A and B are shown apart, each in its own frame.
Chain A
Amino acid sequence: MLEIENLHARTGGRDILKGVTLTVQRGEVHAVMGPNGSGKSTLASVIAGRPGYEVTAGSVRLDGVDLLRLEPEDRAHRGVFLAFQYPVEIPGVSNMEFLKAALDSRNAAAGEDALSAMDFMRRARAAASRLDLNPEFLKRGVNEGFSGGEKKRNEILQMLLLEPTLAVLDETDSGLDIDALRVVAAGVNTFASPDNAVVLVTHYQRLLDHIVPDYVHVLVAGGIVRTGDRDLALELESNGYGWLVDA
């Protein structure tokens, strides 16, 4: 489904990705791990189309479509979802307004009718309760004054509502206490199905105690240096990244 080939990308005048190749199929969960500054977040940003990143070589395709030629919203319409490492606060725009706009856009792009206000509220409330979010949060400004955990849970809530085919979670575990981590992981596990794929970008192994990946990739200095299964993550946990960096 997702085919990344020899991807080179730069930002802020520095080459970050130096030939990443990665294939993800439906029904799979992949973890991309690596030390700080290895290019994990750049990879996630390039897939979602964040401005400020220049692809200098290679390709990213989703179901055969060249993602790099598409605007971020068009990528989303084709099923791409990025859970942000640092979700943005938007005062004055309520969560409800934001989620409704996102769902309406997705439905319009798919040629479907917009949800009625009542159906929307029902779905949003259900998703909120699944993530232990007080439904009152729907009335608040997007991420405004949210705790770190609330912000991350809000990202997962959006994922559940938008039902993407490819969910890229950028450091979703960072800043979460163990209870929040469990809730978030449960959300991801509910979401994962044979029809979609999940790419977890993470520095630490602990998220993988709750979400079991099919593949673990280690990204070092802008390239994938090793691919394995969950055992590779455990090995990284005990030995660190040093042995791979030096290799």
Chain B
Amino acid sequence: MTAAEAFVARTRARPVTYAPWLDREESRRRLAEHGLPEPRCEAWRYSNPNRWYGAFSRGARGVDPSHAGAFSRGARGVDPSHAGAFSRGARGVDPSHAEAFSRGARGVDPSHAGAFSRGARGVDPSQQEAERDAAAGAAAAPRAVGADVVDFARADARDRACIERHLNTAVDRAKHPLANVNDIAMRLGLLVHVAASDDPAEVVLGELGGGIERILVVVEPNASATLIERGATPVHRVVECVVGDGARLDHVRLQPPADSVEYHLVATRLGASSHYRLAQYSQGAALRRNDLHVRVAGRGAEVEIRCGYRLGPRTHLDTQIGVEHEAPDAVSRQTARGVVGERAKAVLNGRIHVAPGAQRTDAALTTKSLLLAPTAELNAKPELTIHADDVQCAHGATVGELDADALFYLRSRGVSAVTARDLLIGGFLAEAVGDLLADDARELLGIAR
């Protein structure tokens, strides 16, 4: 039995206690029939999924799932020792994290949990405390303005109807089989619901502490929202975004460095004439994979995806970007810029798929990478599949080292070799930084300002 098969067996056998009303049959069936990625399969060639199964199993073993779920229901009922155990196990490593987590869990004001699980329309009164918690690296309540944020476990009939209607409509479970695991084993689910309004909504998700997390974002037609993910990352998070006709979603993800093994999926489905901007700024982890998948389901939608990453020594970051043009007259832009340090490994896959009938698609994909050491590794692959005849698709990928002439130029002006390298790296990465949260992005990427 392979590690994947063993993991499937364990996942399927696990009793579900979190939001048991959710229909998980389809995910169970898919897991049984199709299993999970094996190390040799093409999509996982450079990021061994067995490491994830191992880390995940270690994290899940011996933990009463109700506890992790309980965290989301409010820190009230959390025994910090459990949360700590989960956290330590899940990351498989640094005990200081576990402590931080326990501190966080212990220190959470129940009013936060209440505010967030019930959702907040208007300013969250505990916002400042939440920010303080986030700054301390602790799990904190989401902040929401103009949006409802509801814990699946506390969803009322109306929320449940919304969740059931939209869940897995953006996720392609055949393409991303780990999403099936997320369905079955989630310990925290949040519905972020944005109704049409004159004022754009803003939702900030810090560290949530769920370990296995599902975020379902529903932006109703003609509504507009900003979603920001920041703080320590969980081992497994699926963010599913359903963007209605004429709606707009700005999505920023900041992923600080970690020593964990993680899998993240962003799956977005776009309605007609909608806009989606995704900016992801990452540092590496022991193994961190981000699948970013956008289905352009409605005519005339616009997508912009920007990724900037900086990998420190011995870290690993796998970024798989895919844009599926299913409808005509849409525009998509993918740009990624990254810097890979000593013994670090980056995987960068950019895919554009144009379905038959998606005429007048205008799609482009560019990736640029810098390798800082002979031991740095990059596996970059652009993929274009085009089944329509009236389209414009462009792609370009470059890989290089720091420019020796530029280094000398800076040093000849008295700038030290170390500062000169930092300036050049910063300059290279700066072009990946968008206008939203630009300062935070620069800080995360270590760009001086």
> What is the predominant secondary structure among interface residues of chain B facing chain A?
helix
Asked whether A118 is an interface residue with its Cβ less than 8 Å from the other chain, the reply is no
Q: Are A92 and B430 in contact (CB under 8 A)?
A: yes
> Contact at B426–A76, with CB atoms within 8 Å?
no
B416 within 8 A of A: yes
A106 touches B414 (CB 8 A): yes
Measured in the bound complex, the distance between the Cα atoms of B403 and A88 in whole Å is: 10
Provide the residues of chain A in CB contact with B430, threshold 8 Å: 92-93
Question: With A98-B410, A102-B415 in contact, is A88–B405 under 8 Å at CB?
Answer: yes
Chain B CB within 8 A of A62 CB: no
Which of A50, A92, A105 has the most C-beta atoms of chain B within 10 angstroms of its own C-beta? A92
CB of A76 within 8 A of CB of B427, answer no
A203: chain B residues within 8 A (beta carbon): none
**Set of chain A residues within 8 Å of B165, measured between Cβ atoms:** none
Closest to B418 in A: A73
Chain B residues numbered 396-418 whose CB sits less than 8 Å from any CB in chain A: 403-406, 408-417
Q: Answer yes or no: B3 CB below 8 A from chain A CBs.
A: no
CA distance A76 to B419 in the complex (A): 15
**A82 touching B415 in the complex, CB below 8 Å, given contacts A88-B406, A97-B423:** no
Contact A109 B427 (CB under 8 A): no
Residue with the highest number of chain A CB atoms closer than 10 Å, among B404, B411, B429, B448 = B411
Return the chain B residue nearest A106 by Cβ: B414
> Is residue B424 within 8 Å, beta carbon to beta carbon, of the partner chain?
yes
Q: How large is the interface on B (under 10, 10 to 19, 20 to 34, 35 or more residues)?
A: 20 to 34
Given A93-B426, A97-B423: A71 and B409 interface contact (C-beta under 8 Å): no
CB-defined contacts of B25 to chain A, threshold 8 Å = none
Chain A residues contacting B46 (CB-CB under 8 Å) are none
B389 within 8 A of A: no
**Known contacts A71-B417, A91-B427, A91-B431: does B411 contact A76 (CB below 8 Å)?**
yes
Measured between beta carbons, the chain A residues less than 8 angstroms from B403 are 88, 90
Complex contact A90–B409 (CB within 8 A): yes
Cβ-defined contact, A93 with B419, below 8 A: no
The answer to whether A72 has its CB under 8 Å from any CB of chain B is yes
Task: Report if A141 contacts B (CB, 8 A).
Answer: yes
> In whole Å, how far is A161's beta carbon from the nearest beta carbon of chain B?
10
Q: Is A84 located at the chain interface by the 8 A CB criterion?
A: yes
Known: A50-B408, A51-B408, A87-B409. A76 touches B424 (CB 8 A): no
Chain B CB within 8 A of A16 CB: no
Task: Say yes or no: is A34 at the interface (Cβ < 8 Å to chain B).
Answer: no
**Which residues of chain B (168-185) have a CB below 8 Å from chain A?**
none
Question: Is B428's CB within 8 Å of the partner chain A?
Answer: yes
Q: A98-B423, A101-B419 are in contact. Are A90 and B412 (CB under 8 A)?
A: no
Known: A93-B426, A105-B419. A158 touches B431 (CB 8 A): no
Contacts of A90 in B (CB 8 A): 403, 406, 409-410, 423-424, 427
With an 8 A cutoff between CB atoms, is A48 at the interface?
yes
Contact indicator per residue, chain B 410-449, by CB within 8 Å of chain A (1) or not (0): 1111111101100110111111000000000000000010
Chain A contacts with B in 65-123, Cβ cutoff 8 A: 71-73, 75-77, 81-82, 84, 87-88, 90-93, 97-98, 101-102, 105-106, 109
Asked if A39 lies at the interface with its beta carbon under 8 angstroms from chain B, I say no
- Asked if A138 CB lies within 8 Å of chain B CBs, one says no
Report yes or no: B413 in contact with A162, Cβ–Cβ below 8 A.
yes
Say yes or no for A222: interface residue by CB 8 A criterion. Answer: no
Contact check: which of A73, A81, A141 meets B427 at CB < 8 Å?
A: A141
How many angstroms from the CA of A29 to the CA of B341 in the assembled complex?
46
A60 to chain B, nearest CB (A): 15
The 21 sampled A-B contact pairs (Cβ below 8 Å) are: A49-B412, A51-B408, A72-B411, A73-B412, A73-B415, A73-B420, A76-B412, A77-B414, A84-B412, A88-B403, A91-B431, A92-B427, A92-B429, A92-B430, A93-B426, A97-B423, A97-B448, A101-B423, A105-B413, A141-B427, A158-B413
Given A49-B408, A76-B413, A88-B406: 6 more A-B contacts, CB < 8 Å = A71-B411, A73-B417, A81-B412, A84-B409, A87-B409, A90-B424
Which 7 pairs of residues, A with B, have the shortest CB-CB distance?
A: A92-B427, A76-B414, A93-B427, A102-B413, A72-B411, A105-B414, A88-B409
